[in-house]
Structure 1
């Protein structure tokens, strides 16, 4: 199962590198796109849940790394107002777009 990383620039300029066990993050987030903190939390949470479900379907157990990533994002997000802006500055590997 392909895994990936994605980097978030928070409203204070700090950058957080995150892990996903699945490329499904590309279905929910776009590199270079801005989101509100609240929207990011919702999108990332849904994506990481789906990623963990994919791991469970393939290996028979949930991905604790996906849950840990979601917890880290929620902890970072709690420092900011829900309508503050964040930017996804990188997603690796990127998807080929035609």
Structure 2
């Protein structure tokens, strides 16, 4: 299963390289700006689908995809109070 990374730029300008166990994230995340809640919804769906692919192939979910989702959620909490906070997906490779 090909690993895919995506780079996220948070509202304060910091960038984070994120992990997915599957290329399916390319169907959910495209480079560009997202409202914070929209980004989180897309990222959650992408990582859940990626974990599902691992489950289909190996018989168990991908804990690394869950860990990545939790890390994104944790980081996002600091921006929730900012109206119109945007997250930019810089790249998906």
The two structures have a TM-score, normalised by structure 2, of 0.93
- 1:48-91 deviations in whole A, cap 9, x for unaligned? 00100100000011000000000010011111037311111111
Work out the number of aligned pairs and report it: 91
Unaligned runs of 5+ in 1: 93-98
1:45 — aligned with what?
44
User: Paired residue for 2:88?
Assistant: 87
SS at 1:69's partner residue? helix
Which aligned pairs between 1:13-24 and structure 2 lie closer than 5 A?
13-24=13-24
Q: Which residue of 2 aligns with 1:96?
A: none
Instruction: For 1:88 and 1:29, locate their aligned partners in 2 and report how far apart those are by CA, in whole Å.
Output: 7
Aligned-residue RMSD, C-alpha: 1.0
Give yes or no for the alignment of 1:3 onto 2:15: no
2:65 match: 66
CA deviation digits over 1:6-63, x for unaligned, max 9? 01000000111100001111111112x1001111111100110010010000001100
CA distance in 2, matches of 1:76, 1:36: 15
Contact kept? 1:4, 1:20, Cα under 8 Å: yes
Deviation at 1:3, TM superposition (A): 1.1
Consecutive aligned runs of 4 or more in structure 1 exceeding 3 Å deviation: none
